[in-house]
Amino acid sequence: MFKSAAILGTGSFGTALAHIIGRQLDSVAMIGRDPDVAATINRDHRNPRYLSSASLPESVTAGTELASAAEHDLVLFCIPTSATRGTVEKLASLGLPKETALLSCAKGIERGTGERMSSIIQQGFPDNPVAVLSGPNHAEEIATDLATCAVIGCRDEELACGLQQLFTASHFRSYTSDDIAGIELGGAIKNIYAIAAGIAAGLGLGDNAIAALVTRALAEMTRLGVQLGGRVETFSGLSGVGDLIATCFSPHSRNHRVGNALGEGKTLEDAVNSLGMVAEGVPNTQSIYEAARAAGARTPIIDAVYAILYEDMPAARALSELLNRDPRPETD
Ligand SMILES: NC(=O)C1=CN([C@@H]2O[C@H](COP(=O)(O)OP(=O)(O)OC[C@H]3O[C@@H](n4cnc5c(N)ncnc54)[C@H](O)[C@@H]3O)[C@@H](O)[C@H]2O)C=CC1
Ligand SMILES: O=C(CO)COP(=O)(O)O
């Protein structure tokens, strides 16, 4: 179905996905902002800044011209969610054929509007087909060919199958679903729990506490995700519990690393600056906290992370408040 693709973003995820789809397609153009990074990718078939040990197939080239996305059948959005609307607007002003399929790979919702990335992309390109990709997909593991599964969210069956074929390799298996909202919400909300799990680890809590936290996080994610428009079963899938487990327990998770630093007493600014990559859970704690308030949802874990990140509440006090809430039944 696809012969070529453009990947917007030459960061970790764009690089990992170029490594995968570059083997399947005649040409993959990575589009970034830094001409030096692009030149090195073209010369060495490696990204000097992100996942520099991953080799990129010969079909992968890089550049900085957003307009060149129009030359491809498929455009992947692998940029931070905070950059999506601006990039969509710029790309829409340059124009894309209406057959070009658009695949959102970012995990977060927009602050202020609460909109999911696929909606923002669809607003910019009302006539183009839009799909999403999510799941437990650490770029570091994809780029070293460790086995990975993902879910593709798409309402058009033919496009879903085409994308599934593209994201099928000996070590990469993909599934399809038509619950785009549920898939995107799981991927966005889990980032906050990865910060919470990191905080818990940084505070020196044990396995019992972290298992309890992740279990209650799944209940909260499902409750909130359904209130925001996802289907309940999606949160038991790869983009829900699958990604929750990956990010809450993996040393690769940037959100977990930010949380860990906070639990050890670092400031948010230091935790984020020392990362040098995007941790979507930081801005998304604000956007999702606001969306939860607007929906009237009960989200004690998100509220605790929000208080730690944005209201200077000490992590130990937030933990104590979480544990000492009024008792309630497990399922309600
Ligand atoms: N790294 C991972 O394992 C995974 C990341 N994702 C998602 O992919 C998205 C991108 O994350 P990463 O690639 O990991 O981030 P990263 O921090 O590794 O790279 C971000 C890239 O976006 C570019 N960028 C930043 N601001 C921009 C702007 N305003 N306009 C255009 N480009 C801009 C940067 O130059 C960089 O190339 C995030 O939403 C993340 O949650 C999803 C699955 C896995
Ligand atoms: O979404 C991810 C893996 O599925 C990446 O998580 P982090 O952004 O926390 O590294």
Segments of 87-171 assigned E as strands: 101-104, 130-134, 148-153
What is the per-residue pLDDT across 213-229, written as a single tens digit (0 to 9) for each?
999 999 999 999 999 99
Asked whether the beta carbons of 119 and 132 are under 8 A apart, the reply is no
Measuring CA to CA, which residue among 237, 201, 199, 235 is closest to residue 218?
235
Does 4-178 match 186-323 in CATH topology? Answer: no
Structure tokens at 274: 């020392």
For the sheet containing 172-177, what is the strand order?
Answer: 60-63, 27-31, 4-8, 74-77, 101-104, 130-134, 148-153, 172-177
Between the CA of 106 and the centroid of ligand 1 the distance, in Å, is: 7
* Domain extent listing, the chain: 4-178, 186-323
| CA distances to 17, 57, 101 from 235, in Å | 24, 34, 26
Question: Which CATH superfamily does the domain covering 186-323 fall into?
Answer: N-(1-d-carboxylethyl)-l-norvaline Dehydrogenase; domain 2 (1.10.1040.10)
- Dmax over CA atoms of the chain, in Å, equals 61
Torsion, Cα 312 202 205 325, to 10 degrees, reads 20
For the question of residue 190 being annotated catalytic, the response is: yes
- Three-state SS at 63: strand
167 is in an annotated binding site: no
Q: Compute the distance between CA of residue 332 and CA of residue 328 in angstroms, rounded to an integer.
A: 8
> Best mutation site among 167, 191, 238 for ligand 2, i.e. most ligand atoms within 8 A of its Cβ?
191
> What angle do the packed helices 315-323 and 300-310 form, to 10 degrees?
160
Residue length of the chain = 332
State which ligand 1 atom lies nearest to the alpha carbon of 108: 39
Q: Tell me the residue type at 38.
A: A
Asked whether the beta carbons of 290 and 224 are under 8 A apart, the reply is no
Q: Is the CB of 79 under 6 A from ligand 1?
A: yes
70 is in an annotated binding site: no
Say if pTM beats, i.e. exceeds, 0.95: yes
Phi (first) and psi of residue 298, to 5 degrees: -95, 115
> Best mutation site among 12, 144, 172 for ligand 1, i.e. most ligand atoms within 8 A of its Cβ?
12
Q: Is the CB of 77 under 6 A from ligand 1?
A: no
Asked whether the beta carbons of 303 and 319 are under 8 A apart, the reply is no
Q: 85 burial class (0-12, 13-18, 19+ CB within 10 angstroms)?
A: middle
Quick one: which H or E segment has residue 4? strand 4-8
For tokens 């979507």, name the residue.
280
SS (H, E, C) 70-105: HHCCEEEECCCHHHHHHHHHHHHHHCCCCCCEEEEC
137 is in an annotated binding site: no
Phi (first) and psi of residue 326, to 5 degrees: -55, 140
- Three-state SS at 331: coil
Q: Is the CB of 10 under 6 A from ligand 1?
A: yes
What is the per-residue pLDDT across 135-174, written as a single tens digit (0 to 9) for each?
999 999 999 999 999 999 999 999 999 999 999 999 999 9
Q: Which of 3, 90, 190, 266 is catalytic?
A: 190
Measuring CA to CA, which residue among 35, 57, 53 is closest to residue 45?
57
> What is the ipTM, given to two decimal places?
0.98
Q: Is the CB of 13 under 6 A from ligand 1?
A: yes
Q: Compute the distance between CA of residue 103 and CA of residue 161 in angstroms, rounded to an integer.
A: 13
Question: Which CATH superfamily does the domain covering 4-178 fall into?
Answer: NAD(P)-binding Rossmann-like Domain (3.40.50.720)
- Three-state SS at 254: helix
Taking only the tens of pLDDT, the chain with its 332 residues reads 899 999 999 999 999 999 999 999 999 999 999 999 999 999 999 999 999 999 999 999 999 999 999 999 999 999 999 999 999 999 999 999 999 999 999 999 999 999 999 999 999 999 999 999 999 999 999 999 999 999 999 999 999 999 999 999 999 999 999 999 999 999 999 999 999 999 999 999 999 999 999 999 999 999 999 999 999 999 999 999 999 999 999 999 999 999 999 999 999 999 999 998 999 999 999 999 999 999 999 999 999 999 999 999 999 999 999 999 999 999 87
